[in-house]
Chain A
Amino acid sequence: MAFFIHKKEKYIVQKIGQHVSAVVEAVYLVCDALDLIVEGRKEECMELTKRVHKKEHEADIIQREIDTEMFGGAFMPSIRELLFIAVDTVDKVANRAEKLGDFLTLIEPDIPEEIRDDVREMGELTRRCADMMKRAMLNLFEDMQEVHKDTVMIEEYEAKVDKVAWKVLERVFKELEIEKFSHRMMLREMIIHLSSISNKMEDASDRLEIIALRLRF
């Protein structure tokens, strides 16, 4: 009997892989959109943010499929609950990416020359963080002992993003000559939206680590 359920679990693992891939793609797309806005290519940025929306929606649909299958009795109950929460937290990463995309499309912020490299660096670190999140999620089903290493890496990237974000905010408010205060606030908001993506990925990594730890004896 358990072998029939095994099939269901295989299907869910496949869906979880698709879900995390869609989320990571959404993160990549929004980071690419950010690069475009840094370069002042606002039209192209808008096109990419539309694709972020699509990816986020795609991730939502997959998540619903996963939930339906999981409530049908796949996995051991304790793992089922933790996986459900982990997938939900990963899904929230796509929501954060979508929010940043919306911000870039609606506000179309002008990025001062002095912080462009830092913003690009934040985007790059966020991409790497997303790659690690995907690896950690897949390793739950391939090599659980690697999950801890992956989550440590996610934490490191998240810390780096926070560090650069702090540096950028300090420059925006203390060093740069920006005429309007509202412009400073807009930049601040953009940075907060961007760093919230890696913060959410860190939350997801905590969930994944709990699952891996749960299976130790």
Chain B
Amino acid sequence: MFRLLSGVYLGWGLGANDAANVFGTAVATRVVPYRVAVVLTSVFVLIGSVMQGSRGMYTVGALADMDVNTAFIASLSAAITINVLTFLAIPVSTSQAIVGAILAVGLTGSGVQLGVLVKVLVSWVASPLAAAAISFLLYRALGSLIEARIRSVRIWSTIMKTGFYLAGIYGAYALGANNVANTTAVFFKAGLVSPAQAALIGGLAIGLGVLTYSKRVMYTVGRRITRMSEFAGLIAILGQDITVHFFSWVGVPVSTSQAIVGAVMGVGLVKSSRAVDFRIIGRIVIGWLVTPLAALVIAYGMLRVYGILFLSPV
């Protein structure tokens, strides 16, 4: 069971990093106090993980066959990749890191399920695009509705505040439902835990990361998004939430960071076609390529070492 620790570590890192995409704006603008934000995020991440996290488990698990040891190596490699790339300031995604690591397991073992891999790759590309489209439509629809109906600063302010709370809670739920598979799906696949246990352990690990180490990232990311108007920021978060939740129905873990970038661009497109920042798109593409490749290389190396040391064919 100690092997699960690598999954817990991966979940902890995920929580520390990705809580920012959920409540960062609300915290940075002081709409929601940090402590309230992290407690709400932890609770709803756990609920999302337990209620809806299993679908992603099956997809991630279906990528390649693995045993407990290779699952441990895959999970640990993904965590190391996240740490190394974050240190090098390269955009990183847990979803992409774990897939890269599992590919290494598949390539050194019984192969990779290409159909599942294609589904995952398509989802990665589709998620920021979907977030952009959803945010664009939401901004158009809700913007004109609120402008026509809301005539008081007080009511506007209350709607915005309530909106940030609800979007944060929903985002935390969606994060848990979608991303919990990244942390413990390999152990479910290896037969170490059931899907429900994997979801519970992963959800707790993410929640722990949110509670203990999310403050700095939350303020950094939040301030970046708050350069927009509050309404635009809220819509971008909602766009991200809906997208991430949608992909938890599809059963593919996607990057919340890439979804929020797409959502921000979608909101920007309402005002100007120049909102599309090709440098940021470039960073996303680099994330798609570098993160899984780095995880694949690290996992491959660790699997070789494991093979040599323990004399078992890898």
Contacts and interface: CB of A to CB of B under 8 A. Distances in A.
Interface of A: 1-3, 5-6, 9-10, 13, 73-79, 83, 140-145, 211-212, 214-217
Given A76-B29, A141-B152, A144-B152, A3 B144 contact: no
Given A79-B153, A217-B143, 19 more contacts: A1-B165, A6-B154, A6-B158, A9-B154, A10-B154, A73-B30, A76-B157, A77-B31, A77-B230, A78-B229, A83-B153, A141-B152, A141-B153, A142-B152, A144-B150, A144-B153, A144-B156, A215-B150, A217-B139
Contacts of A10: 154
A143 to B, nearest CB: 5
B154 A141 contact: yes
B153 A2 contact: no
Interface in B111-156: 139, 143-144, 146-147, 150-154, 156
A140 B152 CA distance: 6
B161 A78 contact: no
A215 B156 contact: yes
A75 B165 contact: no
A13 B158 CA distance: 13
12 contacts: A1-B36, A2-B161, A3-B162, A73-B30, A76-B29, A76-B160, A77-B230, A83-B153, A144-B153, A144-B156, A214-B229, A215-B156
Given A141-B153, A216-B147, A217-B231, A9 B31 contact: no
A217 B144 contact: yes
A215 B154 contact: no
B152 A2 contact: no
Contacts of A145: 151
A13 B152 CA distance: 10
A27 B167 CA distance: 46
A6 to B, nearest CB: 5
Nearest to B30: A77
Interface in B1-51: 29-31, 36
Contact of B162 (A2, A144, A211, A217): A2
Contact of B230 (A6, A13, A78): A78
B147 A75 contact: no
Interface in B165-193: 165
Contacts of A74: 157
Contacts of B154: 6, 9-10, 13, 75, 141
B144 A75 contact: no
Nearest to A83: B153
B230 to A, nearest CB: 5
A104 to B, nearest CB: 36
Contact of B158 (A5, A83, A211, A214): A5
Interface string B209-235: 000000000000000000001110000
A140 B147 contact: no
Nearest to A208: B153
Among B36, B151, B160, B231, find the residue whose CB has the most chain A CB atoms closer than 10 A. Answer: B151
A185 to B, nearest CB: 44
Contacts of A141: 152-154
A2 B165 contact: yes
A164 to B, nearest CB: 34
B26 to A, nearest CB: 10
A146 to B, nearest CB: 8
Nearest to A1: B165
A217 B31 contact: no
Contact of A140 (B31, B153, B161, B229): B153
Contacts of A214: 229
Nearest to B234: A76
Contacts of B231: 217
B153 A215 contact: yes
A2, A9, A10, A78 — most chain B CB neighbours (10 Å) = A2
A216 B160 CA distance: 13
A76 B151 contact: no
Contacts of A5: 158, 161
A216 B151 CA distance: 10
A106 to B, nearest CB: 40
B270 to A, nearest CB: 8
Contacts of A212: 153
A211 B153 contact: yes
Contacts of B144: 217
A13 B150 CA distance: 16
A149 to B, nearest CB: 13
A58 to B, nearest CB: 23
B165 to A, nearest CB: 6
